[in-house]
Amino acid sequence: MTKADIVNEISKNTGIEKVTVQKTVEAFMETVKDSLSSDKNVYLRGFGSFIVKKRAKKTARNISKNTTIIIPEHSIPAFKPAKTFVSKVKTNVK
């Protein structure tokens, strides 16, 4: 499902114009990105949490050049689904 599909589905289910729904979806995504970039997690009860995970510094190998490189400590965005979300997906497995 794409962002356009989500906008169409919400518009169809609520009767709100697609332009308004698209602006709302875009604003939601921008708010989540801004919150995560400033190290604030986003919690949506019953859906899940958008969280910032810390990755420790590590040593890796570049196999093609046979060299060792250092990957510095960094943060990555992650999504942790709520228990009700997980259970609903598990029951729909075919």
Least confident of 1-10, 21-30, 50-59, 82-91: 82-91
At 93 the pLDDT is 65
Band of the pLDDT at 44, cuts 50, 70, 90?
very high
Is the pLDDT confidence value at 92 over 80?
Answer: no
92 or 88, higher pLDDT: 88
Contacts of 68 (CB under 8 A, 6+ apart): 59, 60, 61, 62
60 or 93, higher pLDDT: 60
Whole-number average pLDDT of the chain = 94
Q: If we measure between CA atoms, which residue out of 6, 7, 3 comes closest to residue 17?
A: 7
